[in-house]
Amino acid sequence: MNNPTNDPDLRSWVASANAAGTDFPIQNLPYGRFRRAGTQESWRIGIAIGDQILDLKLAFGKTVWEAAVQSSLASLTAGDLNAFMAQGPSVWRGLRAALSQALREGSKAQAQLEACLLPQAQAEFSVPCEIGDYTDFYAGIHHATTVGKLFRPDNPLLPNYKWVPIGYHGRSSSIGVSGQSFRRPRGQIKGEGDTPLFGSSKRLDYELELGIFVGQGNAPGESVGMEQAEQHLFGIGLLNDWSARDVQAWEYQPLGPFLAKNFATTISPWIVTMEALEPFRCEFTREAGEPQPLPYLDSQQNRDRGAVNITLEAWLQTAAMRKAGQAPVRLSQANFRESAYWTLAQLLAHHTVNGCNLRPGDLFGSGTMSGPQADQAGSLLELTQGGKQAIQLPNGESRTFLADGDTVILRGYCEAAGAARIGLGEVAGTVVA
């Protein structure tokens, strides 16, 4: 798709947006909710550009916008991204085009918009939108297979896995933004025989996931078909679905995850729009011999461009590393295209096929994204083979599961020939006693 806002030759008058390796060049322009750090100002919506934030509330008052753009900006001045998300792709594309024009080199808007910038280092962030409902899927085929082998060596994947996108309803109240600290959870843990113990989780884990944000919703009872599903997707971010594996092992049968998952979920502050991802879309195919999706989960568009090429990484910084001034160490790297058994559109179409109504700002978790190799695992459960083999860290420490004071950092970015690299930023969370 030929979209001028994705032109790799575009440059911005915001100098940091032109730096090699930046997550936020002018081709990205993700949305976030912020305020100046240390203040009690109301939350406002901004656009990441280089190491700066374009404050859309301040930008609204400038005279550089056409009437249609002013209308789009008006819905964002109250710090309400959901209202904008509800307006649909034509409005999203219109504002993106106007922002791209205003922020590119040579723009006459520079003189007025320079005063609307705030360095990201001087901001604090909230979750980017109001999240009404949260569904966590299990779309990572390599993660599902590896974890399945730990518990069912002869039958790692249950019969339904390759036919239906598996998921469970999470809890939106415990979702926090990058920088979140949370207490080590407590719960029931299997003891001798079938008698449980109660205490703090000793097998606390992270999960390397993608977060998917719904834009337009659908009415109750009306499903969204594959031909329309992409029009209901607003964008993506990074998501860490923290997991208490010992609590999970005792409680998950027969109804699935509960207290092992709902104590904390951390998301990145920026939503990268589907439009920004267009250069990184690619074919969605299944290997020979794999079951093909049922008709309601299939479309020509999905086969042609349903997958997305995104590199995802997990990093760890222990309390000792932080005290010594040592940088985080990368634990693993995986690719979303290679890891996800279902596309974003398939997740949305399946979620609504029974008439379930989604709303603007609803969040999906992709499920843990792991590659086919052992060192590409997106969780400690996989990297340590269920806690049997400790990871050795460069400073001499080792880990099977997370210790108090550990900070996990997830990062993601997209690269492709003939396209400008864009990033998802990062999401960091710290475990406290």
Q: Is 248 annotated as a binding residue?
A: yes
Question: Is 149 marked as a binding-site residue?
Answer: no
The answer to whether 262 touches 206, Cβ cutoff 8 Å, is no
> How far, in Å, CA of 262 to CA of 258, rounded?
6
Half-sphere exposure of 286 (CA within 13 A, CB side): 15
pLDDT of the residue at 1: 60
Question: Which region, left, alpha or beta, applies to residue 141 given φ > 0 means left and ψ of -120 to 50 means alpha?
Answer: alpha
252 annotated to a ligand binding site? yes
Q: Check if 143 is active-site.
A: yes
Q: Determine if residue 136 is labeled as part of a ligand binding site.
A: yes
Residue type, 169: H
Residue segments in the chain with a per-residue pLDDT below the cut of 50: none
First-to-final CA distance of the chain: 50
Pairing status of strand 272-273 against strand 281-282 = unpaired
Which domains does the chain show, CATH number per domain?
4-126 (2.30.30.230), 134-432 (3.90.850.10)
Widest pairwise Cα distance in the chain: 73
Residue 404's pLDDT is what?
98
261 assigned ligand-binding residue = yes
Query: pLDDT value at position 351?
Result: 98
HEC-encoded secondary structure of 347-405: HHHHHHCCCCCCCCCCEEECCCCCCCCHHHCCCHHHHCCCCCCCEECCCCCEECCCCCC
Determine whether the annotation assigns residue 241 to a binding site: yes
Which residue's entry shows tokens 């699935």? 256
- Is 134 annotated for ligand binding? no
CA–CA distance, 335 with 327 (Å, rounded to integer): 23
